[in-house]
Chains A and B, each alone.
Chain A
Amino acid sequence: EVQLVESGGGLVQPGGSLRLSCAASGFTFSNYWMAWVRQAPGKGLEWVANMKHDESERYYVDSVNGRFTISRDNAKNSLYLQMNSLRVEDTAVYYCARVRPWPTPDSWGQGTLVTVSS
């Protein structure tokens, strides 16, 4: 069974940093693109970033490009999202998702809440 478990969310002040983690199990993590998708409270879904299985390609939505960094450790079956210079508008539940087949997230974690507030 595919499992994705996010962690690392919390309350942070504007301008601060946070690192999200996603622990994957139940599939061969190193074979798949992975993605982060977020959802602001009461709003719709927004694709944040995705990364190829071999780390050779990354994509970021314009609103986070230059502030967020997606990375992975295939030996640890883990996906990460380093978030710097956080803004109030980054407040959301952040979901980790497996991409299969391209470009479709077929399995999602339960999400971790990031709140940016002073």
Chain B
Amino acid sequence: EIVLTQSPGTLSLSPGERATLSCRASQSVSSSYLAWYQQKPGQAPRLLIYAASTRATGIPDRFSGSWSGTDFTLTISRLEPEDFAVYYCQQYGGSPPGHTFGQGTKLEIK
């Protein structure tokens, strides 16, 4: 099973700052099969990025995704008040193939 490790566990920033969230895979993951989600309290997850770097419909361009090898990054260029939430990465792959989520990064207001 591929394990996704997100860091940091909690990130404390102020509106207007840049946020960099990391997701490291325990083995090779196809970039086509890596996604990022945002979840606010009491709400369902919301798809932000799929295929590592493609923004989902309606997602502002301050959200971007990138990767290098087994390290995937979600960047929020300039934080808005509504961006403070928990973020999850998700992948499909491995042998036998399966779906896994990272444990989440909580982005909180400093």
Contact = CB atoms under 8 A, between A and B. Distances in A.
Interface of A: 35, 37, 44-47, 50, 59, 61, 95, 101-111
Nearest to A103: B92
Given A103-B99, A108-B44, A111-B44, A45 B90 contact: yes
B101 A101 contact: no
Contacts of A59: 98-99
Contacts of B88: 44-45
A44 B23 CA distance: 14
Highest count of chain B CB atoms <10 Å: which of A50, A61, A107, A108: A108
Contacts of A110: 43-44
Size category, B interface: 20 to 34
A95 B39 CA distance: 13
A47 B97 CA distance: 13
B89 to A, nearest CB: 10
Contacts, number: 53
B99 A50 contact: yes
B50 A106 contact: yes
A92 B104 CA distance: 17
A105 B92 contact: no
Contact of A47 (B46, B47, B99): B99
B21 interface: no
Given A45-B101, A104-B47, A105-B47, 12 more contacts: A44-B88, A45-B37, A45-B39, A45-B104, A50-B99, A59-B98, A59-B99, A102-B92, A104-B33, A104-B90, A105-B45, A106-B47
Highest count of chain A CB atoms <10 Å: which of B33, B50, B103: B50
Contacts of A106: 47, 50, 56
B45 A103 contact: no
Contacts of A44: 88, 101-104
B76 interface: no
